[in-house]
Structure 1
Amino acid sequence: MKLPTALRLTPQWTPYVLLSPFVLLFCTFGLFPLLFSLYLSFQTWEPTSGLQAMRFVGLENFAFALQDEWFWKSLKNTLWLALAAGVPQHLVAIPLAVFIHNRLHRLRDAVTGAYFLPYITSTVAIAIMFSAMFSKDYGLINQGLQLLGHVPLLGALVPAEAVDWMGQPQHIKPAIAMIVFWRYVGFNVVLYLAALQTIPKDLYEAATMDGAGRLQQFFHITLPSLKPMIFFGVTLSVIGGLQLFEEPFILTGGRGGSDQAGMTTAIYLYRMAFDFNDFGAASAMSWLLFFVVALLTWLTNRAFAPRASKG
């Protein structure tokens, strides 16, 4: 059965009709919330009072956020966690990926899948598991530290008493950083393994014939060849680290922990909106966080940009 001529699509309109479902969903669930958040950052509003209760306040929400000590504390916590959890991911993932690529030929897929598994595991399941492991009285980590306390030389470095990981401010951030590192290091391993497979083997063969050792090949062939993927992975770590929310939120019960030591900026603006009912200030904080993410992403791009040769 043929469609009437009036219902047939002309070739020039066919791409637009096929793209229309995506455009409609993006505008509804992506573009509209983004623009509404920007509009809301210049308003004061309590949702319980309805849309008509909005009142334009100009830059007051941004001024409040910049003068809020807790906002700066949350931003400091976020930057600390992004650095402490992000940098070790790549320092471990690169040599680990090289080892798996060069040594574990038959077991490569199985080992890679094992490292990638935490990335696709439910955040709630991870939080429950690590909450038990970080328990002060019966946690596996404290039990392991007690065993290390009986080892000569290492015993002097181990705390004499059980560590209250989630109860003491000085231990909350390192515990969260350990979890974030454990969860995302496998993702970076997969990225670097994919990049290693694109490096021509002829480069290594020529370097071997010239007498270059494995360490020289790593620094002069592998690392330069991995630079584009390192830039991609570091950029993802910067963006993800500054938006960190799920792990500290679940581990600290959504409150940031003792002395707000585990409160990230994402958690604070969430609490500002849904606990303190100040959606205008929360929107302003979200845009300030966006500018911080954009700035650090630009700095990362500049750091990995090719240097112009002199002369």
Structure 2
Amino acid sequence: MSACIIVSPVEASAEAELAARLHVVDSDQPQVSVLDLGVTRGDGIFEVLGVINGKPQAVDAHLRRLGVSAAMLDLPKLDLEAIRAAIYQVVELAEKHDEFSVKVIVTRGIEGSGVATAWVLAFKAPDDFAAERAEGVKVVLLDRGYPHDIAARAPWLLAGAKTLSYAVNKAVLREAARRGADDVVFTSSDGYLLEGPSASLILKFGNKIWTPATAQGILPGTTQGAAFEYFADAGFATAQVLLRTEQLWDADAAWLTSSGRMLVPICEVDGRPIPVDHALTEAGNAALLARTN
């Protein structure tokens, strides 16, 4: 399953043969230097794409977000077309499943070299997301520690970049487990809803479907964007808005959404049950799983 391709990710000064910049390797063997800054400092970025029935999803959106993250970290300008080619090649090489994922990783490389490192890996997630989609997840609200406008006031904090520095994202999941929950919704220190550690938040209020505004330093969700297309076609009004934490309790339904999980309903927040719209969840996931790109 773990097909892997090493990519020469930086834009070449002269056009080179694309095939010569993609190298299929054995993912079970060492491929990255112990001196790589992605290993020693978590200095890099990544994206994870869902693959449904052999078709990688939202490739353009993921590559755009990768480019934005690279710019925020002052990485060299990436050859996104080389990375795109690697994505499609690794999907072809991977063991076939109805659903699996592809991860794109770019690091600053070995310190002082000025050469970025990148690879693309296909993998099958160990989790069975079907259960989460049907039954929902329990979440806790945790303060991220920044006000909602931190991205504009302190861009050096890299709020909104999808970096390899995931220690906090994993720590909050352990805290959720200690509290008897499955996942987390981050809040700002001044009382606004943000996102999950690896998912976007979507809320339903009557005929309105809202997600927290990305200007708060949160990632623009690729699956959230696809879900909004479905909701708009179904007659809902969709928007990015500033949402106060207390508005979560007024929602008719709430979801976490990501490339692997699709729409996962939230059934409990801080030990308090909230409504689950099973019919809309099933219809939305059916639409997301029927996508061809």
Normalising by structure 2, report the TM-score: 0.22
Q: Which has the higher contact order (CA 8 A, sep 6+)?
A: 1
Larger radius of gyration between Structure 1 and Structure 2: 1
Normalising by structure 1, report the TM-score: 0.21
Larger strand share, 1 or 2: 2
